[in-house]
A and B are shown apart, each in its own frame.
Chain A
Amino acid sequence: MGSNGSPSQIAEGTEQAEDRQKAANAAPQLQEVLRHTCPSPAGPRVLSTFRNILDRDSCDLVWVTKEWRPQQVTLHARTRTTAKIRQDVISSPKMQHTIEQQLSSQNEVPKEALWRELNDILIEMGHTQTMPVVRWFGYVLSKIMRKIYSGVFVNEESIARLRASIGNNPVIFMPSHRSYADFLLMSYVCFHYNIMLPVIAAGMDFVSMWGVGRLLRDSGAFFIRRSFGNDKLYWAAFSEYVQTLITAGENPIEFFVEGTRSRTAKSLCPKLGLLSVALEPYLTGQVSDIVVVPINISYDRTLEETLYSYELLGVPKPKESTSGLFKALNVLDEQYGRIHIDFTEPISVNKFFGDLRSPKLMRPLHLPHQITPDESTRIIWLANYVVRQQQKNAVISLFSLAAVVITHHVLTKPRNQLLNMHQLTRQVASLKSAAESFGALIDCRDNLEVSLQDALHIHKSLIVTSKDGQVQVKNVAAAQAPVDPAKMKGHSLQDKTLQVGVPMVMLQHYVNQTLHLFICPAIVSLSVQQSINQGSGMKANVFAKYQFLRTLLSHEFILHKAWETMDFEQSIQQLQKLGVLDESLHDSMKLSLGSNSHLQQILCQLLLPFLAGYSSACSTMSEVPAGKTVSLNEALKSTQARLEKLLLSAQLNHHYSLSLDLLTAAVNSLTSMGAVIKNKENGKVLYSPNSNRLRQVTQIVGDFLQLVAPICRKSQDEQARLLITRAKARL
Chain B
Amino acid sequence: MDTTGHGYESPPSVMRIKACASQEKNSGNSIITPERTVNTIPKKKQTALKWSGWGYNDTIVVCESNGNLYMTSDRYPHMKNKHVNQSVRLWLRDKLNMDLYDESKMVRSPVTPQMEISKPIVNEDFMKGLQSHNISYSMESDDRLFRGHGHTLDDIIHLRTGKIERVPDVVVWPGCHDDVVKIVNLATEHNVVIIPFGGGTNVTLALTCDPEEKRMIVSLDTSQMSRVLWVDKANMTACCESGIIGQDLERELSKHGVMSGHEPDSQEFSSLGGWVSTRASGMKKNQYGNIEDLVVHIRFVTPSGVMEKQSLGPRISSGPDFNHIILGSEGTLGVITEVIIKVRPVPEVRDFASYVFPEFQYGVDFMREVALKRAQPASLRLIDNEQYRMGQIYKDSLGIFGSILDSIKMFYLHSIAGYAEDKLCVVIAVFEGDKMDVHLQKTRIKKMTEKYRGLDAGNENGKRGYTLTFSIAYIRDACIDYGVLAESFETSVPWDRCANLCRSVKNTISRECKARGITHHETSCRVTQVYDAGACVYFYFAFHRGIMDFHKALKVYDEIEEVARDEVIACGGNISHHHGIGKKRQKWLPKQVSPLGVNLYRAVKQHIDPKNIFASGNLVDMKSSL
Contacts and interface: CB of A to CB of B under 8 A. Distances in A.
Contacts of A365: 496-497
A93 B510 CA distance: 31
B187 to A, nearest CB: 41
B508 interface: yes
B496 A93 contact: yes
Interface in B557-606: 567, 569-572, 591
B503 interface: yes
Contacts of A377: none
30 contacts: A76-B503, A78-B359, A78-B361, A93-B496, A168-B507, A168-B510, A168-B511, A247-B500, A285-B497, A285-B572, A286-B497, A286-B500, A287-B500, A287-B504, A288-B500, A288-B504, A288-B507, A288-B508, A288-B571, A289-B504, A289-B507, A357-B570, A358-B569, A358-B570, A358-B591, A361-B497, A361-B572, A364-B494, A364-B496, A365-B497
Contact of B571 (A76, A168, A285): A285
A163 B570 CA distance: 26
Contacts of A93: 496
Interface string B473-510: 00000000000000000000010110010011001101
Main secondary structure of the interface of A (DSSP, over half): loop
Contacts of A309: none
Contacts of A247: 500
A168 to B, nearest CB: 4
A169 interface: yes
Contacts of B572: 285, 361
Interface string A360-392: 010011000000000000000000000000000
B7 to A, nearest CB: 41
Nearest to B591: A358
A287 B359 CA distance: 18
B507 A169 contact: yes
A365 B511 CA distance: 26
Contacts of A288: 500, 503-504, 507-508, 567, 570-571
Contacts of A169: 507
Contacts of A287: 500, 504
Interface string A146-171: 00000000000000000000001100
A698 B511 CA distance: 55
Interface residues of B, number: 19
A355 to B, nearest CB: 10
A364 B570 CA distance: 14
Interface in B178-206: none
A354 B569 CA distance: 12
B417 to A, nearest CB: 16
Interface string B337-364: 0000000000000000000000111000
A93 B571 CA distance: 18
Contacts of A358: 569-570, 591
Nearest to B514: A164
Contact of B570 (A76, A78, A168, A285): A285
A358 B497 CA distance: 13
Interface of A: 76, 78, 93, 168-169, 247, 285-289, 354, 357-358, 361, 364-365
Interface in B496-547: 496-497, 500, 503-504, 507-508, 510-511
A357 B571 CA distance: 9
B566 to A, nearest CB: 9
Contacts of A78: 359, 361
Most buried by A among B511, B567, B591: B511
A93 B368 CA distance: 14
Contacts of B567: 288
A286 B503 CA distance: 10
Contacts of A76: 360-361, 503
Contacts of B500: 247, 285-288
Nearest to A164: B514
Nearest to B571: A285
A364 B493 CA distance: 12
Contacts of B508: 288
A285 B494 CA distance: 12
A76 B591 CA distance: 31
A354 B360 CA distance: 27
A76 B500 CA distance: 10
Contacts of B504: 287-289
B363 to A, nearest CB: 13
A303 B371 CA distance: 59
A364 B503 CA distance: 19
Nearest to A247: B500
Contacts of A285: 497, 500, 570-572
B597 to A, nearest CB: 15
Contacts of A286: 497, 500
A357 B568 CA distance: 12
Given A168-B511, A287-B504, A361-B570, 7 more contacts: A76-B360, A76-B503, A93-B496, A285-B500, A364-B496, A365-B496, A365-B497
A287 B501 CA distance: 8
Contacts of A289: 504, 507
B306 to A, nearest CB: 39
A288 B571 CA distance: 7
Nearest to B503: A76
Contacts of A364: 494, 496
B249 to A, nearest CB: 38
A78 B503 CA distance: 14
Nearest to B362: A78
Contacts of B507: 168-169, 288-289
Shortest Cβ-Cβ A-B pairs, 5 listed: A288-B504, A168-B507, A361-B572, A357-B570, A285-B572
Nearest to B572: A361
A361 B534 CA distance: 14
A563 B378 CA distance: 60
A289 B500 CA distance: 11
A457 to B, nearest CB: 48
A146 B508 CA distance: 43
A289 B591 CA distance: 22
B542 to A, nearest CB: 19
Contacts of B569: 358
Nearest to B358: A78
A693 to B, nearest CB: 45
Nearest to A93: B496
